[in-house]
Amino acid sequence: MGQNAHHHVPMTCAVVAQKGGVGKTTTLLGLAGAAWERGLRTLVVDLDPQANATSAMDPASTAYSTNDVLADARSGVAADAVVASGWGPGIDLIPAERALEHRAVPEGRDSTLRLRLALEGVIDNYDVVLVDCPPSLGELTRNALAAVRLALVVTEPSFFALPGAAAALEAIEVVRGSNNLVLRPAGVLVNRSRPQTSEHAFRLVELEAAYPNLILPYVVPERIAVQQAQGACVPVQAWRSPGAREVADVYDDLLDMLLTKAAETVADLGVSSTMTFSTGTESS
């Protein structure tokens, strides 16, 4: 391939949280829905043994899972596990299953690189690749972080928000320093915020003071439409209600931010002139 050839670079992002119940999978599904609405080719990799993203995306068949992918870990083997989601053409999934828990411990040398190796060549077929991590910072999350360029930390404005965000950001830096030099924190998303309550307002100020450059300027409101859409196994963007549209607008802004940061990450490598990057919108 000539030096001036154009290489397609997908936006790859892991959605990370130190603890459960903060809306990590909901955030990932919202981003996948924003990509679906734009017609971007999207792959969701479910690395959470709870498999909530898999359930919400309602694939017709799941012959193989991320458990099988990590157990094999040959270059490009993830292609065998890709299935069409129930969301329609262009939105694919590598499903999870409960047995994925067995992969949550290191398995020999370069154990953290198993997902990255398995996805080699596979992600080139997509514009957006989103990885849902388990609510911990163990081996599965380290595999996700080693395979992507961006990591989005999701938290809620609670007593555990600051230490949880700090631990997640530290994990990102550890993986970046050890085996993924292109990894960048995309920011910290405060989910389910109710700033009118004094506790949420206090925790939000606390987070902003600790991470002024990383707290994202988006607040995802808590709306029943999110649960309704997940229960119907459709993107929230396809749910027809004012609450769904309000949430969808936030996820659209969040996807814009991630696409922009991904393009900047590619530029950081000094090779942006030889790469194309799809955003799903026409540049002005």
Which of 9-18, 149-158, 197-206, 274-283 holds the top average pLDDT? 9-18
Q: Is 201 exposed, middle or buried (0-12, 13-18, 19+ CB in 10 A)?
A: middle
Do the Cβ atoms of 41 and 74 come closer than 8 Å? no
Is 150:184 a contact under the CB 8 Å cutoff? Answer: yes
On average, the pLDDT of the chain sits at: 87
Q: Which pair of tokens denotes residue 20?
A: 């459960």
pLDDT band for position 194 (cuts 50, 70, 90)? low
Buried b (16+ CB within 10 A) or exposed e, 96-128: bbeebeebbeeeeeebbbbbbbbbeebbeebbb
| Domains of the chain, CATH where assigned | 12-265 (3.40.50.300)
**144 Cβ contact list (under 8 Å, min separation 6):** 14, 16, 45, 47, 115, 131, 133
**C-beta atoms surrounding 10 within 10 Å:** 22
Q: Is 20 helix (H, G, I), strand (E, B) or coil?
A: coil
* CA separation for the pair 142, 175 (Å, rounded): 7
Task: Give the mean model confidence (pLDDT) for residues 237-241.
Answer: 93
Identify whether the C-beta of residue 76 lies closer than 8 Å to the C-beta of residue 28. Answer: no
Mean pLDDT of 208-227: 86
DSSP string over 62-98: -SS-HHHHHHH--TTGGGGG-EE-TT-TTEEEE---G
Per-residue pLDDT of 99-145, as tens digits, reads: 999 888 777 778 899 999 999 999 999 999 999 999 988 999 999 99
Lowest mean pLDDT segment, chosen from 87-96, 147-156, 198-207, 246-255: 198-207
User: Residue 273 pLDDT > 50, yes or no?
Assistant: no
Range name among 184-188, 240-244, 255-259, 268-272 with the lowest pLDDT average: 268-272
Question: What local confidence, expressed as pLDDT, does residue 155 receive?
Answer: 87
Q: How many residues appear in the chain?
A: 284
- What percent of the chain stands above pLDDT 90? 65
Instruction: Indicate if the pLDDT at residue 272 is higher than 60.
Output: no
pLDDT band at residue 193 using 50, 70 and 90 as cut-offs: low
Contact 29, 247 (CB under 8 A): no
CA 250 to each of CA 3, 127, 175: distance values in angstroms, whole numbers, following the listed order: 39, 20, 29
Surface-to-core class of residue 92, CB atoms within 10 Å of its CB (0-12 exposed, 13-18 middle, 19+ buried): buried
Q: Which residue has better confidence, 75 or 221?
A: 75
In single-letter form, the type of residue at position 202 comes to F
pLDDT on residue 270: 53
* pLDDT at 182 exceeding the cut of 90: yes
CA of residue 95 relative to chain centroid, distance: 14
Bridge partner list, 93 = 44, 83
Range scoring the smallest mean pLDDT among 71-80, 192-201, 202-211, 232-241: 192-201
